[in-house]
Amino acid sequence: VVPSPAKHRAKMDDIVVVAQGTQSLRNIHNDPDVIKLQEIPTFQPLLKGVLSGQTSLSTICLEKLDSAQVLQLFVGIKSFIHTLSMSMILRRIQMGIDQTIPLMERLNNLLPESERLEPFSMKPDGEIK
């Protein structure tokens, strides 16, 4: 009885290596994943001791901050944001008016002559010339 080839187990002497594979040594200096992670910018907190639990460093930072100047800074920022938001609101209103007036004029021109309204003006009655 001849043993089947499936049952025949290869010995180490029977294995032939065709080509040696090149296995690069990966370490933290040449690993592409580590290099990509190192390129990500890190966030440094304003008060460095707050996250690590160091109270002495954070109290030193807090002592150097003048609360009146910080308050003045934030009041200025609040005023700027308010002015900017009002500017954006007024710009949107103006864009809406600029789109609506031509439509009103076209609609008014479609009416019979006797039913047409006088031309629309944003100026008070005394300023129309």
Question: Which pLDDT belongs to residue 29?
Answer: 76
State pLDDT tens for residues 22-57. 666 667 777 888 888 888 877 666 655 555 555 555
Cβ atoms of residues 49 and 56 within 8 Å: yes
pLDDT score, position 75: 94
State the DSSP string of the chain: -PPPTTTPPPPGGG----SPPP-PPP-TTT-HHHHHHHHSPPP--SSTHHHHT-HHHHHHHHHHS-HHHHHHHHHHHHHHHHHHHHHHHHHHHHHHHHHHHHHHHHHHHHS-GGGPPPPP-SS-GGG--
pLDDT of residue 93: 95
Please list the ranges in the chain whose pLDDT falls under 70: 1-13, 17, 19-26, 43-64, 125-129
| pLDDT attached to residue 21 | 64
Contacts of 30 (CB under 8 A, 6+ apart): 24
Cβ-contact 33, 20 below 8 angstroms = no
pLDDT at 39: 85
